[in-house]
Amino acid sequence: MKKSEIVQKGYFVDESQFEGGKTVLSSEQLVILKELSRVLNNNQDDYLDGFLNLYSPKGLKELLSVQVRTALEYDTINSLGALKAYELIEALNL
């Protein structure tokens, strides 16, 4: 799912709803983000490229949470995948 396909509860979520800015991650956080990307994007780790330069840490965390909910709603991940994704979001410590 791409940023332009973010849907929450049946309507488009404008990216302006997420706090803009820039997020700088440590090397450990980057590893976690890549793992999250794999969970949400069928084992490809390029899914979240570019988000770091668009969103503040708070905005990124909110965006990632919406991505998990959307993936669940569209059955692109199962409940175990969603749980893993939420754990990874928390592990990012944003």
45-75 pLDDT per residue, tens = 776 768 899 999 999 999 999 999 999 999 9
Q: What is the pLDDT of residue 43?
A: 80
Sign for the CA dihedral angle at 60, 66, 69, 75 comes to negative
* Whether the predicted pLDDT of 91 surpasses 90: yes
Give the pLDDT confidence score for residue 13 in this predicted structure: 54
Using CA atoms, how far apart are residues 94 and 80, in angstroms rounded to an integer?
22
pLDDT tens, position by position, 4-56: 444 444 545 555 678 889 999 999 999 999 999 999 987 877 767 688 999 99
CB atoms within 10 A of CB 81: 15
On whether the CB atoms of residues 38 and 31 are closer than 8 A, the answer is no
Average per-residue pLDDT in the chain? 84
